Structure 1
Amino acid sequence: MNIAPSILINGPGFSLREVKSVSEALEFLEEWPKNARSPFWYLARNALDGALTGSMPTDHARDAFEAFCKESGILLV
């Protein structure tokens, strides 16, 4: 399931990444340190899970992931 347009992120501990799909976004979230998981992380995770099951539109999940990235300071605009 593609995220369009893709989301560019960059931060400490990882190089520039282009997130193009719901599964890539979920994979990235799972790599995020447990002690740094904010409410934005949980909202993004729930929205992306919903997109996988069809209970959430993909564009809403994308918006939630982008909000997490922005809040975390890793979103490239």
Structure 2
Amino acid sequence: MEIAPPVLIKGPGFDLREIRSVPEAIEYLEGWPANARSPFWYLASNALHGAVDGSMQVEHAREAFEAFCKGAGVLLV
């Protein structure tokens, strides 16, 4: 499931990452520290898993993931 347009996020240092699919976004979220998971993390996770099972449109899951990234300060704008 492709995410269009891709979500660009900042990593450590000058590292940039382009999230291009729902599975990539889920993998990124799963790597987020458990003690730093905000309500936006849970919303994004639920939305992305909903996109996988067909109960959520991919566009809406992308928006939720982007909102999480923005709130976490990792969204490249």
TM-score category by the smaller chain?
A: over 0.9
**Corresponding residue for residue 26 of structure 1:** 26
Length-normalised TM-score, structure 1: 0.95
CA RMSD of aligned residues (A): 1.4
**Corresponding residue for residue 62 of structure 1:** 62
- CA change 1:19–1:71 in 2 (3 A) is same
Give the deviation of 1:27 after TM superposition.
Answer: 0.2
Mind listing any 5+ residue stretches in structure 1 that lack a counterpart?
none
Q: Is the 8 A contact 2:11 2:17 kept in 1?
A: no
Q: Is the 8 A contact 2:9 2:74 kept in 1?
A: yes
What amino acid maps onto 2:70 in structure 1? K
Write the distance in 2 (CA, Å) between the matches of 1:35 and 1:17. 23
What amino acid maps onto 1:20 in structure 2? R
Give the deviation of 1:15 after TM superposition.
Answer: 2.5
Mind listing any 5+ residue stretches in structure 2 that lack a counterpart?
none
What percent identity do the matched residue pairs reach?
70
Aligned residues: 77
Write the distance in 1 (CA, Å) between the matches of 2:45 and 2:14. 20
- CA change 1:60–1:11 in 2 (3 A) is same
Matched, 1:76 2:76: yes
Instruction: Could you list the structure 1 runs, at least 4 aligned residues long, displaced by more than 4 angstroms after superposition.
Output: none
Length-normalised TM-score, structure 2: 0.95
